[in-house]
Amino acid sequence: MLYSKILIPYNNTDLSNKALETVKNFAKVNPNAEIDLLFANQVPIPTYPGGIMIQESQDKFNEFADETLENAVNYLADLKNPIHKYIVDSQPITAILNHVETNKNDLIIMGNRGLRGIKEFLESVSHVVVQKSPVPVLLVK
């Protein structure tokens, strides 16, 4: 089965950059495949006792997320594939799984830190995504 819509959760880490390189190679094989770049932007906004949140923190994180995805788009600029950017205020696992359902992606390509043992089950986004994803997931080390 040939993929038609690839999702890459991207945050400019070494592993997400390796995943981005893999996406680029996959996209060259199928120039009609769409690429969705997703930045899950769960921001710990400080809250004061009165419940006032600091909006500036959220704005700065959103600006950072937009710049990060724009750099990824620039890296993919020589491709003919349609590229879409998404910034979501959500925990990464939820953001990834919801995006796949909503946007009908048929492949996820993402980095894997290589956690083992109990840490894999408690801390690994990729482990949970592989377990719960309705579509194939390619992990890049």
Q: What is the value of pTM for the model shown? A: 0.86
CA 51 to centroid of chain Cα atoms = 30
Full domain range(s) for residue 60: 5-140
Number of domains into which the chain is organized? 1
Nearest by Cα to 35 from 48, 45, 25, 49: 25
How confident is the model at residue 116, as a pLDDT?
A: 45
Query: What CATH number is given to the structural domain containing 35?
Result: 3.40.50.620
pLDDT in tens, 1-53: 589 999 999 999 999 999 999 999 999 999 999 999 999 987 665 555 544 55
Q: Give the separation between CA 61 and CA 116, rounded to whole angstroms.
A: 30
How confident is the model at residue 59, as a pLDDT?
A: 80
Instruction: Fill in the DSSP letter of residue 76.
Output: T
Give the mean model confidence (pLDDT) for residues 78-86.
97
Alpha-carbon Rg for the chain, nearest whole angstrom, is 16
How confident is the model at residue 49, as a pLDDT?
A: 53
pLDDT in tens, 92-104: 999 999 999 999 9
CA 128 to centroid of chain Cα atoms = 14
